[in-house]
Structure 1
Amino acid sequence: MRIDRRKGWGLAALGMLLVSTDSYFIRLSELNGWNVAFLVGCLSLPVHLVAQRVVDGGKPLAAFRQYRRPLLIVGALSAVSQISFITAVTKTNVSNVVVIVAAAPVIAAIVGRIMLGERTSRQVWLAILITIAGVVIVVSGSVGEPNLVGDFLALVAIVAFAINMNVWRRYSDMSRFVGLALAAMIAIVIAVWFIDNPFGHDQRAYFSVACMGLVFNPMGRIAHTNAPRFAPAAEIALFVPVETLAATAWAWIAFSEKPVVATFVGGGIVIFGMMVGTYGRASAPIDLGRETVSRDEVTQGMDPT
């Protein structure tokens, strides 16, 4: 099966560029992770529902009933990934978080092989190994330091993210807006138990979460969840380093958080890995051992629940 993967790569890159602003707005707000997760969930939920009505024509309950189980799975995974990432950013160096997240292709490739029978080429595996080397260099300086909790939460975020990309790819016709709306609802339900006076902060805090929850985060997630329609999850995950580069730049520009030498070296290696994984593969055949589930198949009697 041959498709032009560049559309998927472009959506992935755009999505990660938009989401890279999360770390900037989280730090700018000076709110704790739970408050940010709660407020962003409250703001992004209506955005996804309105987008679903405009793009898909409404009827979110009908869309949910058609793909009940996979939508619940992506909703839960998205919520866990976002909460873990937001909390990690408040507990450790931003550069460390985003470069750890750049290891997502490893898990995405393994899950894609198990879930979809999708074989990852030697070229992409080489890129993944290069990415691992870059990540090891970056996190080597944090072993034994207080930011290990933040690094672990970042690892949880990439595991949930990588699995999620494969579920989205498996059910290519599933409503992205309904899945993301479910993710926002689940994040709200989880975060509400841990929030601390989320409505008693200054204007800067609310401006930050408004930018994040109404514009950058939902738009980035919409772009990124559509990317697996056009390329394997392992290749989509290779574009996570776009966030690495951009988020590190935001932290440096806004907070004078100059990355250490290891972050520059490791980040450069990760970016090189992304280039290796995509070079010359725009129209490469997709080796898919198990077909994705489409809406037509569901209406013909294939029940994805």
Structure 2
Amino acid sequence: MQASAGPERRRAREGRLAILLAAVAWSTAGLGQRGLDASAVTQVAGRAFFAALALLALVLAMERRGTMRAFLGMGRSGLAMTVFLAISSGAFLLALNHTSVANVLFMQAAAPMMAALLGWVLISEPVDGRTWAALLLAGAGVAVMAAGSLDAGIAAVGLPLLMTASFAVVIVIARHRRDVSMMPATCASQVLVVVVCAPFVTLGSVSGSDWAILAALGVGQMGLGLAFLTIGARLIPPAQVALISLLEVVLGPLWVWLAYGERPSSATLVGGAIVVAAVVVQAVAPMPAGRGAASEAHV
């Protein structure tokens, strides 16, 4: 028993470090977006283009000769995952153009609770008392943030909600179709984003530094973040993945505050704190047998 404890602890440390690095990578989205001059749709398409390349390389490394089979074997669930991931990914970057980074990230943190509600409504998935408490907390937090964003216009409220709802659908699909690999669907979703946005892209709005930032967002923020998640999620329990991933919610607003002086509103901070509390409540709940909370996707 003692002989096996050493390798087990080492794997746990490596898993926690991988998720920590994933959260740090994801947290740079707002920092990168705030440095872009390109139009909003061009930002979405540019990041998706580089992300698709990075994710394709990741799929090739994971699947090797089975890469084509992995894409062709996604089925209807994989196609649905692709569409909703594309919506969530595009809405995420568009939302950053209309509201604070903190508002977007705190809203995104509510996706697992929204997924639990969707699972209950759509497929009669049981919801225990602890999860209901998390749902009520998250709903209150989202309501506070949404009310505080009304003055900024409908896009400041609608886009973060669209992002969160579509990503919640992805979580539901991933949880109930564990035979479908998320990675090919994530790659395909970025290709879909590029195709849909292509007619509205204005390359003239892209400055010289924008290309480097878009590449960093696509390859580093999305590609590298997903690579670390893929490693870490196999080594530690889903609850630990969820809790460590909350670091993104803390670091994302911190980076833009330090770099651009962007201060979240009081409503965003209060609502965000409630949502984070809801995530913690749900994450510390015992995980039912055969179920996992971590997914190989991120917006």
Q: Does TM, normalized by the shorter one, top 0.5?
A: yes
CA separation of 1:221/1:155 partners in 2, compared to 1, >3 Å: closer, same or farther? farther
- The corresponding residue for 2:288 is 286
In the TM superposition, what is the alpha-carbon distance from 1:207 to its structure 2 partner?
1.8
User: CA separation of 1:285/1:38 partners in 2, compared to 1, >3 Å: closer, same or farther?
Assistant: closer
1:42-121 to structure 2, matched below 5 A, reads 42-114=49-121, 117-121=124-128
1:13 Cα offset (Å): 6.8
Matched residue, 1:18: 25
Which residue number in structure 2 is paired with residue 269 of structure 1? Answer: 274
Describe the shift of the 1:55–1:229 C-alpha distance in structure 2 as closer, same or farther (beyond 3 A). same
2:217 aligns with 212
Higher mean Cα deviation, 112-121 or 262-271?
112-121
Whether the aligned pair in 2 keeps the contact of 1:32 and 1:87 (CA below 8 Å) is no
Distance in 1, Cα, partners of 2:176 & 2:21: 22
Letter matched to residue 183 of structure 1: S
Q: 1:240 to 1:102 in 2, by over 3 A?
A: farther
Spell out, residue by residue over 1:241-271, the C-alpha distance to the aligned partner (whole angstroms, 9 max, x if none): 5433222112211110112222222222222
Shift in CA distance, 231/74, structure 1 to aligned 2, threshold 3 Å: farther
Residues 33 and 83 in structure 1, CA contact (< 8 A), matched pair in contact too: no
Deviations 1:142-174 (A, max 9, x none): 22x233212201111111100001212222232
Q: Closer, same or farther in 2 for the Cα pair 1:276/1:176, shift >3 Å? A: closer
- After superposition, give the CA deviation of every residue in 1:7-57 in whole Å (9 maximum; x if it has no partner): 9x9687765543232122111123222111211122122222221121122
Tell me: CA distance 1:285–1:184, structure 2 relative to 1, closer, same or farther (3 Å): closer
Aligned length: 278
Is 2:15 the counterpart of 1:27?
Answer: no
- Secondary structure, counterpart of 1:193 in structure 2: helix
Q: How far apart, in 1, do the equivalents of 2:123 and 2:240 lie?
A: 14
Are 1:147 and 2:153 counterparts? yes
Cα distance between partner residues in 1 of 2:236 and 2:129? 20
Residues 12 and 223, structure 1, Cα contact 8 Å, conserved in 2: yes
Q: Percent identity?
A: 24
Give distance in 2, aligned partners of 1:120 and 1:14: 31
Mark the CA change 1:287 to 1:67 in structure 2 (over 3 Å): closer, same or farther. Answer: same
Residues 285 and 26 of structure 1: CA distance in aligned 2, closer, same or farther (over 3 Å): closer
Structure 2: tracts of 5 or more residues without a match: 1-11, 293-299
Question: 2:42 touches 2:197 (CA, 8 Å); kept in 1?
Answer: yes
In the TM superposition, what is the alpha-carbon distance from 1:141 to its structure 2 partner? Answer: 2.1
2:276 is the alignment partner of 1:248: no
Structure 2 match to 1:177: 183
1:114 deviates by 4.8
Contact between 2:114 and 2:135, CA under 8 Å: does it hold in 1?
Answer: no
The amino acid that maps onto 1:169 is R
Task: Give yes or no for the alignment of 1:138 onto 2:145.
Answer: yes
Distance 1:52 1:211, change over 3 A: same
The two structures, once aligned, show a CA RMSD in angstroms of 3.2
- Give the TM-score of the pair, scaled to structure 1: 0.78
Q: How many angstroms apart in 1 are the aligned matches of 2:254 and 2:244?
A: 16
Q: Which of 162, 165, 173 lines up with 1:156 in the alignment? A: 162
CA separation of 1:285/1:95 partners in 2, compared to 1, >3 Å: closer, same or farther?
closer
Unaligned runs of 5+ in 1: 1-5, 292-305
Question: Shift in Å at residue 113 of structure 1?
Answer: 2.9
Describe the SS at the equivalent of 1:28. Answer: coil
Cα separation, partners in 2 of 1:156 and 1:15, compared to 1, 3 Å: farther
TM-score normalized by the length of structure 2: 0.79
Contact 1:95 1:248 in 2 (8 A): yes
- 2:202 matched to which residue of 1? 196
1:195 and 1:48, CA in 2 relative to 1: closer, same or farther beyond 3 A? same
Aligned partners of 1:228 and 1:128: how far apart in 2?
27
Aligned-partner residue type, residue 271 of structure 1: V
